[in-house]
Amino acid sequence: MPITPEQRDEIDRLRAVTATTRRATVPALEEILYQPLEVLDHGFVRVIDYMGDDAAVVQAARVSYGKGTKKVSEDAGLIRYLMRHRHSTPFEMCEIKFHVKLPIFVARQWIRHRTANVNEYSARYSILDREFYVPAPEQLGAQAVVNRQGRGDVLEGEEAASVMRLLREESERAYGSYEEMLNQREDGTVIDPSRQGLARELARMNLSLNYYTQWYWKVDLHNLLHFLSLRADSHAQYEIRVYADAMLDMVKRWVPAVYESFTEYRMGGTHLSRTGLDVVKRLLAGEPVTQEASGLSKREWRELMDQLGRSDE
């Protein structure tokens, strides 16, 4: 199950409490505060706390740019200007804290973003749950031929069935061995009173990377957007992308003007190299340009043509 009964009780208690405050709050985000959004088979992501809103970005920017105007449309225009020209400091004035439950292999990919405060569930202190990630059949991709760190065609038939069977059987077997070494069951009861059991910090090394962990992840808006620009991208690994997609929806609730500018200039835009820009200028002038004459590598050329919607050229 994504959340335990104890976590559900805690969520219900927290959502039953309201408080008056002078700090900025965002009704759309308050609606889902503490609530888990389920991701993958046992995972979730939920907002625990946040600071600031669209106005906080504008307020910080006007320290540098002067008082200016205060109409909503002009505030949105300022945010678009900041995003377009990569003025990142005003976005650092907002922060958000997530509670995330995710497979360990996703967590190890995620933690490479070293711009957040993280506190992870301790398997030295507590027994891990018997929950492991098994991909849906449509996610069982073969190794891609071109992209060395990506997937190709989906496995089918007996090969796919064999992979699913191996994942489930080996994950269950690993957890059984984990309990045997601990001499404790998942609920903490002792298996054999005559044995001591291995320390939790050692027994955990038997578990595979598809087991679930949890953490609190607090990050400022600028670094969150950088994370999302990479992990919500169509080229990102599916298992981390679904978390990023869920968080992107939360950003839309939290800072809608920032979200609109982000999807316009980062997610929906593109960055051109000097040579790539020259190719675009030549194409606009009606000049036929080939990859060999462009000055771009085959990969850069292919990426540029994809961005221009001319992938057949």
Cα four-point dihedral sign 94, 113, 111, 118: negative
Q: Of 253, 270, 282, nearest to 25 (Cα)?
A: 253
Question: Is 184 marked within a binding site?
Answer: no
Question: Is 221 marked within a binding site?
Answer: yes
> Residue 297 is encoded by which pair of tokens?
């590598």
Answer for the pair 254, 29: CB distance below 8 angstroms, yes or no.
Answer: yes
What's the CA dihedral at 80, 82, 83, 88 to 10 degrees?
Answer: -150
Catalytic residue among 22, 46, 62, 231, which?
231
Q: Which residues pair with 213 in a beta bridge?
A: 102
Question: Is 114 marked within a binding site?
Answer: yes
Question: Is 46 marked within a binding site?
Answer: no
Question: Is 220 marked within a binding site?
Answer: yes
Question: Is 130 marked within a binding site?
Answer: no
Residue 264 burial (CB count, 10 A):
13
Question: Is 24 marked within a binding site?
Answer: no
94: left (phi over 0), alpha (psi -120 to 50) or beta: beta
Sheet holding 37-39, edge to edge: 37-39, 43-51, 95-103, 212-220, 117-120
Question: Is 231 marked within a binding site?
Answer: yes
Distance from C-alpha of 134 to C-alpha of 209, rounded to nearest angstrom = 11
Question: Is 69 marked within a binding site?
Answer: no
Q: Of 68, 55, 66, nearest to 94 (Cα)?
A: 55
130 is an active site residue: no
Question: Is 121 marked within a binding site?
Answer: yes
Question: Is 113 marked within a binding site?
Answer: yes
Question: Is 110 marked within a binding site?
Answer: yes
Residue ranges for the known binding site for FAD are 89, 112-114, 120, 220-222, 226
Residues with catalytic annotation?
231
Q: Which residues are annotated as a binding site for dUMP?
A: 109-112, 120-124, 204, 231
